[in-house]
């Protein structure tokens, strides 16, 4: 089969190659990929790929070989899946606990845009606890996670202040329910009950200063790729007894397939809207990766196989 392999060359980060078709484990289904999406974090890993790395975590397609142990979808079923790697290919073996069925009302392009960003947003808000009537500050809101968080939190009754440098993306965040959109953390007027911080660098300490007493900062990313620094005494300028916690989307009590099913259901019901910035044929993958790395694509980049 054909699959994209990392090269380590920034001018051509992946190359299309002939590889062996995967042999699924008993608890894996073989999926023929119809569409896959690219996460910006995956472009970071392509800079220094490890031996054996096979990119691709967000896919939608058809089950062509059900799992041997009888778990998961049976027969030829449309699915969305979240393999840990290998999704940028014609076929991928996906654990059945990371698959859910895709109804006809949700396209493969929409489905492929859901997994990583959607799972992160869903589980991030669960980690934050009840948000009804609470003030939430969200940094780095321009990406897929930011859009999902904004829409889900606003629907749950939160007052969301979204931080984005891009005016067009800010307008869309307002459409999705953001109470306020600002272009820099320093423009945000606290105090906030919850801060969801994804950029790192100086943003973490600036966001902390806008936290209410006893509030919570959940640090779930470092998109700036600049280490954050904190001063212990910053906690005495307002957010006394505040909590700062780290978040990773795979560290959760719920199952991936259950949460994927929730995301698909909300999308089918028109209550969640994946932001698609680019849809193109997978032959354009290398160029799309470069544009995504350089932030020339706003929203999810989805590649379709034809």
Dihedral of the alpha carbons of 136, 137, 142, 143, in degrees to the nearest 10: -60
Q: Which residues pair with 163 in a beta bridge?
A: 182
Q: What local confidence, expressed as pLDDT, does residue 185 receive?
A: 93
304 within 8 A of 58, measured Cβ to Cβ: no
pLDDT of residue 306: 62
DSSP letter (8 states) at residue 54? -
Q: Is 62 helix (H, G, I), strand (E, B) or coil?
A: strand
Q: Are 112 and 37 in contact (CB under 8 A)?
A: yes
The closest of 136, 143, 216, 141 to 179, measured between CA atoms, is: 136
pLDDT of the chain along its 306 residues, tens only? 999 999 988 888 999 999 999 999 999 999 999 999 998 888 888 889 988 899 999 999 999 999 999 999 988 899 999 999 999 999 999 999 999 999 999 999 999 999 999 999 999 999 999 999 999 999 999 889 999 999 999 999 999 999 998 888 899 999 999 999 999 999 999 899 999 999 888 888 889 889 999 999 999 988 888 888 887 777 777 688 889 999 999 999 999 999 999 999 999 999 999 999 889 888 888 888 878 777 767 678 888 986
Give kind and range of the element (H or E) at residue 195: strand 192-197
Going by the DSSP 8-state scheme, the letter that residue 202 receives in this structure is T
- H or E stretch including 136? strand 135-138
Look at residue 285 in the predicted model and tell me its pLDDT. Answer: 84
Measure the CA–CA gap between 37 and 80, rounded to whole angstroms: 11
pTM for this predicted structure: 0.94
Which of these, 198, 263, 254, 248, lies nearest to 224 by C-alpha position?
A: 198
Q: What is the pLDDT of residue 89?
A: 96
Cross-strand bridge partners of residue 135: 159
Give the residue carrying structure tokens 């290919």: 89
Token pair listed for 182: 């600002």
Token digits of residue 171: 């307008």
Beta strands at 2-6 and 78-81: parallel, antiparallel or unpaired? unpaired
Ranges of H-type helices in the chain: 40-45, 108-112, 115-128, 144-155, 167-175, 203-208, 256-268, 285-293
């Amino acid at each position: 089969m054909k699959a994209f392999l990392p090269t380590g060359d920034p001018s051509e980060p992946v190359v299309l190659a002939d590889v062996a078709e995967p042999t699924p484990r008993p608890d894996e289904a073989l999926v023929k990929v119809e569409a896959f999406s690219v996460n910006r974090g995956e472009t970071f890993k392509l800079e220094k790929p490890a031996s054996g790395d096979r990119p691709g975590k967000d896919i939608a397609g058809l089950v062509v070989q059900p799992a041997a142990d009888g778990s998961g979808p049976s027969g030829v079923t449309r699915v969305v899946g979240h393999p840990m790697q290998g999704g940028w290919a014609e076929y991928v073996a996906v654990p059945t606990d990371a698959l859910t069925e895709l109804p006809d009302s949700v396209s493969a392009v929409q489905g492929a845009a859901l997994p990583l960003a959607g799972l992160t947003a869903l589980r991030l808000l669960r980690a934050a606890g009840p948000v009804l009537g609470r003030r939430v500050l969200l940094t780095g809101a321009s990406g897929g996670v930011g859009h999902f968080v904004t829409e889900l939190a606003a629907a749950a009754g939160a007052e969301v202040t979204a931080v984005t440098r891009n005016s067009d993306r800010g307008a869309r965040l307002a459409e999705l329910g953001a109470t306020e959109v600002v272009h820099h953390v320093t423009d945000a007027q606290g105090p906030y009950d919850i801060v969801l911080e994804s950029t790192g660098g100086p943003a973490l300490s600036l966001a902390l200063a806008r936290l209410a007493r006893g509030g919570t900062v959940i640090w779930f990313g470092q998109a700036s790729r600049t280490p954050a620094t904190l001063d212990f005494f910053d906690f005495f300028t307002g957010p006394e007894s505040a909590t700062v916690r780290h978040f990773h989307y795979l560290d959760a009590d719920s199952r991936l397939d259950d949460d994927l099913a929730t995301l698909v259901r909300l999308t089918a019901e028109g209550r969640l809207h994946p932001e698609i910035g680019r849809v193109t044929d997978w032959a354009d993958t290398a160029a799309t990766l470069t544009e995504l790395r350089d932030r020339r694509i706003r929203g999810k980049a989805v590649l379709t196989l034809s």
